[in-house]
């Protein structure tokens, strides 16, 4: 175990002793709630944060009203995420007045955004602990300081020093897990704040990744999701022994017990023939890829600093479908980018029609301070952006619904994830293509990969029956 990990575990043990004394004083368990805003990277970070809190002695709860410590792991990709967090702080402030001893924490990407940390420190005294993405590895120490009686613990590193690795993890699902293969991003898309809040790109050593996955397999995990801001540039920076992403996938595939491999996210500019070949030949890599288009206009793509063309994107989609006819391709699309015109929008609609995405996450451009796009001329009026959004959404729904129908009547492998919340007679799982499937089943199916016949397509999900 590395020296850093020893320090982390030492701090966890010291915090656990303090919490044990507190529980004896109160004569009841102490509860912690970790709420996640944002992407899969944030979800994985929250699993680690929850694992640390649980190791300290907290019982993890989803209820903020029950919690003695509430931690928000924040996102800042879009302005709406910031607004949601500040809105929730007002609620927590009232909750803190009602519950003596309640501790409130903020962490994650929003804390790294320019001016936000200072605003929290100066205007929100109800926040007891705050730290950024670059301080995640310090969390055990920061919590120990808070529990030791330090009035407020506010730490913000300008650059990351180490990753949060080798700590207890509390997974949402016992049978599947995310695995960080890299951190940060070097692409600097003109609209995106991620490189500024997550730091520059750095990869983990392949041997460390494989060891982690082997441990997960031993713990009963069947599906892993390899995580990075741009997994296709894995291995280029930050490691002593360079390994390409396709080479890493081949090594992960060798791990016994792992039955499914997923990854996210992929920048189209870095998807090459080697990755397509590895995916097509694999028996474990799921036939699904998330390729963020963002815009179908070459002019807008250049302004976004995306480094691929409309024609190149369509060619890539065609190549992937030729190698893997059943592959599911999902995407992200931004509308209302500065300077976008009717002609630009038409090009995006054309790509949607041509690519036949299985799903698209469509967003209205969100101006983020500190990015190049924030200072560009031609900022789009909200009314116009909303009109663009509605047209893109309509086109996506039309093409995706037709695309989904292609599996009707087939029997496919489904990883059963949970009991259906709306109909308790059903269980819910996912195909390799990541499409949700609902069918009648017992709790004993949860965590298993089972054959399911797809009886009816209902837009973005299937109703099926156990085959």
The pLDDT of residue 1 is above 50: no
Give ∠ CA 370-371-375 in degrees, rounded to 5: 90
Give the model confidence (pLDDT) of 336-352 as tens digits.
999 999 999 999 999 99
Q: SS3 sequence, the chain?
A: CCHHHHHHHHHHHHHHHHHHHHHHHHCCCCEEEEEECCCHHHHHHHHHHHHHHHHHCCEECCCCCCCCEEEEEECCCCHHHHHHHHHHHHHHHHHHHHCCCCEEEEEEHHHHCCCHHHHHHHHCCCCCEEECHHHHHHHHHHHHHHHCCCCCEEECCCCCCCCCCCCCCCCCCCCEEEEECEECCCCCCCCCCHHHHHCCCEECCHHHHHHHHHHHHHCCCCEEEEECCCHHHCCCCCCCCCCCHHHHHHHHHCCCCCCEEEEECECHHHCCHHHHHHHHHCCCECCEEEECCECCCHHHHHHHCCCCCHHHHHHHHHHHHHHCCCCEEEEEEEECCCCCCHHHHHHHHHHHHHHCCCEEEEEECCCCCCCHHHHCCCCCCHHHHHHHHHHHHHHHHHHHHHHHHHHCCCEEEEEEEEECCCCCCEEEEEECCCCEEEEECCHHHCCCEEEEEEEEECCCEEEEEEC
User: Tokens 């879009």 correspond to what residue?
Assistant: 78
Percent of the chain past pLDDT 90, that is, above it, reads 81
Residues 6+ apart with CB under 8 A from 261: 223, 224, 226, 249, 252, 253, 282, 284, 285, 286
Mean pLDDT in residue range 212-240: 93
**What are the pLDDT digits (tens) for 297-317?**
999 999 999 999 999 999 999
Which domains are delineated in the chain?
3-155 (3.40.50.12160), 171-262 (3.30.750.210), 287-405 (3.30.750.200), 408-466 (2.40.50.140)
pLDDT at 198: 87
The span from the CA of 325 to the CA of 317, in Å, is: 11
Look at residue 3 and tell me whether its pLDDT is greater than 70.
no
pLDDT of residue 236: 83
Higher pLDDT, 40 or 221: 221
Give dist(CA 205, CA 6) in Å, integer: 20
Question: Residue 71: which residues within 8 A CB-CB, separation 6 or more?
Answer: 32, 33, 34, 35, 49, 53, 104, 105, 106, 107, 129
Q: What confidence tens digit (pLDDT) does each residue in 126-141 have?
A: 999 999 998 988 999 9
pLDDT of residue 425: 94
Q: What is the pLDDT of residue 167?
A: 78
- With CA atoms as reference, report the closest residue to 333 among 283, 367, 303, 291: 291
Q: Which residue has the tokens 């019982």?
A: 59
**What integer pLDDT is reported at residue 351 of this predicted model?**
97
Residue 418 near residue 431 (C-beta atoms within 8 A): no
- Per-residue pLDDT tens over the stretch 91-113: 999 999 999 999 999 999 999 99
Is 362 a residue whose pLDDT tops 60? yes
Per-residue confidence band for 4, with pLDDT thresholds at 50, 70 and 90: low
How many C-beta atoms surround the C-beta of residue 174 within 10 A?
12
Residue range 174-196: mean pLDDT, rounded: 93
Output the pLDDT for position 370.
86
The predicted model scores a pTM of: 0.89
Q: Is pLDDT of 2 > 70?
A: no
Give pLDDT, residue 9.
86
For residues 249-278, give the mean pLDDT.
96
With contact defined as beta carbons under 8 Å apart, do 397 and 390 qualify?
no
Query: pLDDT at residue 229 above 70?
Result: yes
Confidence band of 5 (pLDDT split at 50, 70, 90)? low
The partner residues of 294 in beta bridges, in order of sequence, read 333
Instruction: Note the pLDDT tens digit of each residue in 401-443.
Output: 888 889 999 999 999 999 998 999 999 999 999 999 999 999 9
CB 331 within 8 A of CB 295: no
Region 269-293: mean pLDDT is 96
Phi, psi of 449 (to 5 degrees): -100, 115
């Amino acid at each position: 175990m590395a020296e850093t990990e020893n320090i982390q575990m030492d701090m966890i043990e010291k915090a656990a002793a303090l919490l044990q004394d507190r529980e004896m004083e109160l004569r009841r368990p102490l509860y912690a709630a970790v709420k996640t805003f944002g992407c899969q990277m944030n979800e994985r970070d929250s699993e680690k944060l929850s694992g640390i809190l649980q190791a300290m002695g907290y019982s993890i709860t989803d209820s903020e009203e029950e919690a003695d410590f509430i931690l928000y792991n924040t996102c800042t990709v879009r302005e709406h995420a910031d607004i949601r967090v500040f809105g929730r702080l007002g609620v927590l402030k009232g909750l803190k007045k009602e519950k003596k001893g309640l501790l409130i924490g903020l962490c994650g990407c929003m804390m790294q955004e320019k001016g936000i940390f200072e605003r929290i420190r100066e205007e929100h005294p109800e926040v007891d602990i705050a730290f950024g993405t670059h301080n995640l590895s310090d969390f055990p120490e920061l919590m120990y300081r808070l529990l030791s009686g330090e009035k407020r613990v506010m730490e913000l590193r300008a650059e990351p020093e180490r990753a949060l690795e080798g700590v207890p993890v509390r997974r949402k699902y016992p049978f599947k897990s995310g695995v960080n293969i890299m951190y940060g991003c070097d692409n600097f898309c003109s609209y995106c704040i991620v490189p500024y809040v997550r730091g520059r790109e750095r990869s983990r050593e392949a041997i460390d990744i494989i060891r982690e996955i082997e441990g997960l397999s031993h713990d009963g995990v069947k599906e892993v999701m390899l995580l990075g801001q741009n997994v296709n540039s894995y291995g280029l920076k930050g490691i002593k022994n360079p390994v390409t992403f396709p080479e890493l996938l081949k090594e992960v595939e060798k791990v016994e017990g792992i039955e499914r491999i997923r990854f996210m996210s992929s920048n189209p500019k870095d998807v090459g023939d080697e990755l397509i070949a590895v995916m097509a030949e694999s028996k474990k890599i799921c036939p699904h890829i998330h390729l963020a288009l963002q815009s179908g206009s070459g002019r807008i793509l250049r302004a976004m600093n995306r480094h691929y063309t409309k024609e190149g994107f369509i060619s890539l989609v065609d190549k992937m479908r030729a190698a893997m006819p059943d592959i599911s391709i999902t995407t992200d699309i931004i509308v209302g980018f500065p300077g976008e015109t009717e002609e630009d929008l038409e090009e995006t609609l054309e790509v949607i029609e041509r690519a036949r995405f299985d799903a698209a996450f469509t967003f209205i451009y969100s101006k983020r301070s500190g990015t190049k796009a924030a200072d560009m001329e031609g900022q789009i009026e909200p009314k116009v952006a909303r009109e663009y959004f509605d047209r893109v959404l309509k086109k996506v729904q039309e093409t995706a619904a037709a695309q989904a129908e292609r599996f009707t009547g087939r029997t496919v492998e489904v990883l059963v994830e949970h009991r259906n919340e709306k109909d308790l007679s059903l269980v819910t799982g996912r195909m390799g293509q990541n499409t949700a499937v609902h069918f009648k089943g017992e709790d004993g199916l949860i965590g298993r990969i089972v054959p399911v016949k797809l009886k009816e397509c209902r837009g973005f999900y299937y109703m099926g029956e156990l085959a």
